[in-house]
Amino acid sequence: MSGVRGLVASRAGLAATCAALLAVLLGSSIVAIGVGPAVITPGETARHLWAALAGGRIEAGEVTTYRIIWEIRTPRVLLAGLVGAGLSAAGVAIQALVRNALADPFVLGLSSGASVGAVGVTVSGGLAALGVHAVSAGAFIGALAASLLVYAASTTRGALSPLRLVLTGVAMSFGFQALMSVIVYSVPGSEATSMILHWTMGGFGAASWGVLPVLCAVVVLGVAALHRDARALDVMSLGDETASSLGISPDRHRKRLLVLVSLMTGVMVAVSGAISFTGLIVPHLARMVAGAAHTRVLALASLSGAVFMVWVDLAARTLVAPRELPLGVITALIGVPVFITLMRRKGYMFGGG
């Protein structure tokens, strides 16, 4: 592991690693697009994708295959990659902000708060003036409200306790899940169970080209903003006193970045539901390879998270086909043993291995 970390520590090594991960992401996406009830070979999948992007000709007998690839599976795979990258980057930022390796959007209650906001808008029809963006706006408001509540409850005499923050986040998460259950329980009809499963366990069944532009803009710009603040994250992970001595205002940066992470989490939850463990495990693995520098960790975590989520979604829709497993089931089955293994490693600490 130390040899891999030494390779990634150089700029050329980081670029090569990112290029390799991009290649893996591209190959994984082509495989995932081709696998389903109608199996399509990677070569045929690539040919149809190229035709869609470059305006190539499609024979009359291939129209059905083309529609399966371009209209159904491609948006879903792109959605999975974007959500995986966004959750991983958000997890990196939150762990640095609160100096706690157990923190992520799910544990701190942001995902549950976003789910409450999204469900509330869906059930009540609120924010209708925003049209197709109403659910995303509701999810953002819910995530922001959750972050403010957790932050306020965890601050004592102006000082933030990382342990208190995690414990408060876990308690708030259960509270938001209970509130969401009450909201959904009040909805008449048989859709309540499927709705609560979607918002609590996650899924990409509603993927379409229409939901991608806003999500893509938020995730890409959010990850870029976190990269810009990588030095501040490096310093803040060392503690508030150290940050202040180096000219970084921890409170100002923490509040601004919490708003950014809430926005990212809200938009992702609005299209995928709450997905656990991705924002917790992937940053750990990225730090083991890249070290503590957040410029490297964010780059590796974002790309690794995208690859991870593409394969998780593929497993979710194929393992028990034609039924579909909730994403949270698979991420938990993978995340729990990985997390326990990491915690049992001798000398494991935040930012190191």
Which helix (H) or strand (E) segment holds residue 264: the answer is helix 250-272
Q: Give the domain CATH number at 273.
A: 1.10.3470.10
Q: Is residue 294 part of a domain?
A: yes
Contact indicator for 291, 13 with CB cutoff of 8 Å: no
Residue 304 has a pLDDT of: 97
Residue linked to tokens 């974007």: 82
Residue 166 has a pLDDT of: 80
What are the 10-residue block averages of pLDDT along the chain, 353 residues in total?
A: 58 87 97 93 93 84 91 96 96 86 82 88 81 84 88 75 79 88 73 67 88 93 94 84 81 84 90 89 89 91 97 94 89 89 62 42
Q: Is residue 167 part of a domain?
A: yes
Helix axis angle for 134-154 and 250-272, nearest 10°, is 140
Q: Is residue 278 part of a domain?
A: yes
pLDDT tens for 121-133 read: 888 887 878 887 7
Burial 170-208 (b: 16+ CB within 10 A, else e): bebbebbbebbbebbeeeeeeebeebbebbbbbbbeebe
Q: Is residue 105 part of a domain?
A: yes
Q: Is residue 353 part of a domain?
A: no
Residue linked to tokens 């000082």: 159
- Please calculate the CA angle 212-116-121 and round it to the nearest 5 degrees: 65
pLDDT tens for 127-152 read: 878 887 788 888 889 988 988 888 88
Domain that holds residue 29: 2-344
Give the number of domains in the chain.
1
155: helix, strand or coil: strand
327: helix, strand or coil: helix
Q: Is residue 237 part of a domain?
A: yes
Q: Is residue 229 part of a domain?
A: yes
Residue 127 has a pLDDT of: 82
Q: Is residue 134 part of a domain?
A: yes
Residue 160 has a pLDDT of: 67
Contact indicator for 104, 172 with CB cutoff of 8 Å: no
Residue 158 has a pLDDT of: 66
Residue 353 has a pLDDT of: 41
